[in-house]
Structure formats: structure tokens, C-alpha cells
Structure 1
Amino acid sequence: MRDSNRLQRLQQRPLWDFALALYAKPGVEQACLTLQDEAGVDVCELLFHCWLYEHGLAAEPGPLKAIREERCRWQQQVTAPLRQLRRGLKPQAAQSESISTLRKTLQTAEIQAERENLQCWQQWALLSSEQEVSVIKGSINQHNIAQWLQDTLFLLPLDNFSSQASRVREGIQSAFLALASQLDRCESPR
């Protein structure tokens, strides 16, 4: 069932503003980078789910699949190549001011690509209609937020990581817990 009061509150706090504020909290940047680099998590989608969670909402799995595929293509075709170029130039940027400037330009473009992606996620949530409800009232318990995020993002169960990769598995678990610890409890309905 659509919750128009909560959807109105989503409009009052744009996803981009939420993402910037959350990312600035202690441990969140490193948690997001760990989840991105070690577990293949789309950080924009992760931030989207955190935004919904803080408003007491969740995305419906069925409609989520289509937008996830669309946003994944954006990440693969636009954001990831910019990130790869920026990261690849890091050693050369230390030796050359002009390459350092180029790297900063690529970083600006990467951030703009992420902002565009977040705006698409937000628009999808706000267009939740009576015919196809995409966002519903969430029932996630604060104590289960790390596991809920993992399950929502359709990651492999952490047990599926090889025993040789226990450090990676522990890093991923710690990253989800660090992120979850910075989220505020769901707002109660007004």
C-alpha cells in the first residue's frame, strides 16, 4: 500500500543531500568503498536503500529489479569507466600537475555521474503509483539493518566467500555494520 505521507517526506529531503550527509559520517566512506570494491555493491543503490530506510520505507522487489538493471547499466557504462580512469592516473598524478588536474576533472565527472544516478533512483521512488507501487512501508528492525541491506542488494551470502577470503568476508560484514550504525531509526508515521 502506498504511503503518501512518507513519500512527501522523501521529497523534502532529496537523496543527493541525504547521501552527502551520510557519506560524511564517521566510517561510512570507507564502508561504502569496501562494499563497492570487495563485494561489487553499487554504492548509489546502497545509499538509495538507506534513504528509504530512514523514512520507514523499502523498495518492492519486483519493480526494483527493472530499475536496478537500468541503473546498473549506467554504472557500468558511465560511472565505472570514469572511476577506472581516475584511479589509474593516481600514480602519474603524483608526478605531473597536468595529470593531477585531469584526474580532478575525471573525479568531478564521476561525482556528477553518481549524482545523476541518485536522481534517477529518487525519481523512481517518488513516481510510485497506485498501479505499480514501487515503494512500501518498511518493517526493518534497527538491529537487522546490516543484514537487511545485504539481502536487499542480493549479495551472495557471506558464507559463500571462500575460506581463504575470510579477511574479505570480515571486511564486508564490518562495512555493513559500520554503515548500519550511522543510520537513524525509521521515523514513525505521522
Structure 2
Amino acid sequence: MRDSNRLQRLQQRPLWDFALALYAKPGVEQACLTLQDEAGIDVCELLFHCWLYEHGLAADPGSLKAIQEERYRWQQQVTATLRELRRTLKPQAAHNDDIKALRATLQKAELQAERENLQRWQQWALRSSVEEVRLTKSDINQHNVAQWLQDTLFSPPLDKRLSKAARVRENTQMALLALASQLDHCESPR
């Protein structure tokens, strides 16, 4: 893909800045936590796809596989480990100021790990080249964003992956709809 206007706009709004702004919108934090905790979604990848969508772009599925595996390892080995430690200490922190301070340190480290992960997603996207097309123009209709996110993030499809847990599937779909409602549809450059 060689759409210099879209790529330039992508470079001008770093993924981290986009993620912070989106996360602050009503319902997005809860939607992201639901998708992370109930459906096992990597929120950094989710935010990456939302960032691309808002710029009228999508990641090429063929090129995406290697970076997904790399970023998944980071999430599991670094971010999820910090998150689990922080969550494990929550009950103790209610009665112990030292543990409370430790949790705050772990939370800062977890946030920094997520920031690093988002920076790596961004670097990957911006290194798209003629030899390796990583990004394509998105033709996603604003009304189909939730379904597109679902299809992009769930392989196998959500219905097969969560077939035994109707409540989780419903919560996941509602979270995707809530998130999609907060995304701005990219207008074609003039």
C-alpha cells in the first residue's frame, strides 16, 4: 500500500497517544477489560487495529502472523506476569502500605510494558514497504467495525472459540460494540 497521506497521518498520531485517548472514552476501559479477561484478547493488538481503522487502514493478514506471535510472547512473558502479580497482591494491599506501594510500582511497570508493546506494533506498521506490504486501505464500513474487529481478533471465529460460554460470547460482542461506537470513521483524503 502506498497511500502517503494515510501513512503520514499514521506517523503524526503515535499509537500510544491514540490508545490513551481512546481508553479515556466512555465504556472503552470496561470493554477492553472484558475482552482481555473474558475472551483472552490482547488489548494492545486490539488498540493497534483500532488505530489503523481510524486512519483508514488495516493490517495485511498474511504479514500480521509473525508480529502477532512476537507480540503475544511479550504479552504473556512480560505484561501478563506483571498484571498477575499486581492483581494477586490486591487483597494484601488493602491492609499494608508497603504492599500497596509495591502494587503501584507493578502497575507502572505493567503500563510501561504495554507502552513498549504498542511502540513495537507501531514500528512494525510503519516499516511497510514495497517488498512487504503490511498495511492495506480499509474498506470497513463504520456500521461493521465491531464485526470486523471480531473477525480480525478471533481465529477460530468467536462462535467456535466460545461456543460453550454463551455469556462470555455475549459479553464479548457487547464489548466490541461499545468499543466500535467510540471509534471515528476515517474519511477519505481529499
TM-score, normalising length: structure 1:
0.96
Q: SS of the counterpart of 2:151?
A: helix
Give the whole-Å Cα distance in 1 for the aligned partners of 2:156 and 2:31.
18
Q: SS of the counterpart of 2:184?
A: coil
Alignment of 1:1-190 (within 5 A): 1-160=1-160, 161-163=162-164, 165-190=165-190
Contact 2:82–2:106 (Cα < 8 Å) also in 1: yes
Contact 1:82–1:110 (Cα < 8 Å) also in 2: yes
Which portions of structure 1, spanning 4 or more consecutive aligned residues, are displaced by more than 2 angstroms?
154-163
Give the whole-Å Cα distance in 1 for the aligned partners of 2:187 and 2:85.
40
Give the whole-Å Cα distance in 2 for the aligned partners of 1:142 and 1:129.
27
- Kindly state the Cα deviation for residue 154 of structure 1 after the two structures are TM-superposed: 2.6
Contact 1:2–1:137 (Cα < 8 Å) also in 2: no
Give the whole-Å Cα distance in 1 for the aligned partners of 2:183 and 2:97.
39
Give the whole-Å Cα distance in 1 for the aligned partners of 2:153 and 2:113.
20
Residues 65-122 of structure 1, C-alpha deviations (whole Å, 9 max, x = no match): 0000000010011100000000000000001000000000000000000000000000
Which stretches in structure 1 are left out of the alignment for 5+ residues? none
Contact 1:10–1:55 (Cα < 8 Å) also in 2: yes
Q: Which moved more, 1:149-158 or 1:128-137?
A: 149-158
Which stretches in structure 2 are left out of the alignment for 5+ residues? none
Q: SS of the counterpart of 2:81?
A: helix
Q: SS of the counterpart of 2:136?
A: strand
RMSD, aligned CA: 1.0
Aligned residues between the structures = 189
Contact 2:150–2:158 (Cα < 8 Å) also in 1: no
- Kindly state the Cα deviation for residue 188 of structure 1 after the two structures are TM-superposed: 1.3
Give the whole-Å Cα distance in 2 for the aligned partners of 1:136 and 1:75.
25
Contact 1:55–1:186 (Cα < 8 Å) also in 2: yes
- Kindly state the Cα deviation for residue 4 of structure 1 after the two structures are TM-superposed: 1.8
Give the whole-Å Cα distance in 1 for the aligned partners of 2:88 and 2:5.
45
> Percent of counterpart pairs with the same letter?
80
TM-score, normalising length: structure 2:
0.96
Give the whole-Å Cα distance in 1 for the aligned partners of 2:87 and 2:26.
23
Contact 1:93–1:100 (Cα < 8 Å) also in 2: yes
